[in-house]
Structure 1
């Protein structure tokens, strides 16, 4: 197993450990940036494409799937953590389905259907797993379908480190003391994100930089790529 594959595995292990506090944090709306900026930003970015069907990749406890289903889309949410999928199923309403499925299994073609849109909301933090997902995306999308990714903005996420791709140590700063074992995450420059789309035959048609209302700095980066 390579170092990158090991780090990708550590990400999943961390989410297994932190599923319960994450569910509580989402239910209690305790993450200020989500409440003020990023939740609304990803919903708007997805609905701009008016998708009839959506695959919510890394759906967690399902809040985004629920929001999109409430707007009329048929949504399948997938996640590799059983506790999160169970929580999503308990909350599910019309137009929502959930399935426990790893990114590796998704990339290997285990899900044999296509969608109008793939939504990845802060769920692409690995290296090898993300590359595999992008490579699989065209086969999962209907012609003209879109891959929409919301991620940490490289400008603000880089901090004082060199602006180049690479693994960074994880942190739960700003979260409750219930969280533990922070996962490493793979930093990508803006150029690297754009190259992931281009190399996999996806044309970037929209780039958004939602601003935090208090700091005036980018709260996230949202990219929309179309299958060509």
Structure 2
């Protein structure tokens, strides 16, 4: 019997090619207008020398940071996405799943780990976050950008939600589900994973003023 976490991996395996095209062709308006620059700026503000890009996909963020002179390693569970990343430009890449990372002894330490819209699951995400402090230096940071959890005073119940490829264009199959966490749940998860000094940013749609995402910056 499969789980929703298994369905995430299957969906990304089946849709790696159209996703890489959507990113390269800059089809996703919210990314181009708001969220790409938001995560890049959050990283630049912390001035890391070495970055671990967790769930790097086809590698756009790793390439951007490499162009800034940052030593960046991008990891992803999908071999097809890593192939696209390696073919596209600078940066180091490795196939590594969220299940495997907690079992692996780090061969190097990083100043910062970033998870940019890459924390969709439930238990694998919790295990991953608990393992990341061992991959960071003593004063290392974690930057997470994810879907905004909604009004802070009225959090919804945590649980699985249906996914969508909306705005990414044609060619996609079934979308990956995602596990919704309220803001208090994110805070608890990060604290239990060993992170502190939490900062929040809410990048906003310039037309509506609504939050386009939420950024967690922890140490």
* Global fold match (TM > 0.5): yes
- 1:110 deviation in Å? 4.8
CA apart distance, 1:169? 1.3
User: Which of 108, 114, 121 is the matching residue for 1:126?
Assistant: 121
Partner of 2:66: 69
Aligned counterpart, 2:170: 177
Query: Which residue does the alignment assign to 2:14?
Result: 17
CA displacement, residues 58-117 of structure 1 (integer Å, 9 cap, x when unaligned): 001100001111111100000011110001001122xx1001111111121254321100
1:215 has 2:208 as partner = yes
Give structure 1 stretches of 5+ with no counterpart: none
Report the equivalent of 1:146.
Answer: 141
**4+ aligned runs moved over 4 Å, structure 1:** none
Question: SS of the residue aligned with 1:167?
Answer: strand
Question: Where does the alignment leave 5 or more consecutive residues of structure 2 unmatched?
Answer: none
Provide the TM-score with structure 2 as the length reference.
0.95
Q: Does 1:195 find its partner at 2:192?
A: no
User: Contact 1:197–1:204 at 8 Å: present in 2 too?
Assistant: no
Is the 2:19–2:168 Cα contact (8 Å) retained in structure 1? no
The within-5 A match list for 1:100-119 is 100-119=95-114
Residue of structure 1 equivalent to 2:45:
48
Aligned pairs for 1:155-166 within 5 A: 155=150, 163-166=156-159
Measured in 2, the distance between the counterparts of 1:213 and 1:56 equals: 27
Considering only aligned residues, what root-mean-square deviation do their CA atoms show, in Å?
1.6
CA contact (8 A) 1:152 1:220 kept: yes
TM-score, length-scaled by structure 1: 0.91
Is the CA contact (8 Å cut-off) linking 1:206 and 1:223 kept in structure 2? Answer: yes
Change (3 A) 1:214 1:100: same
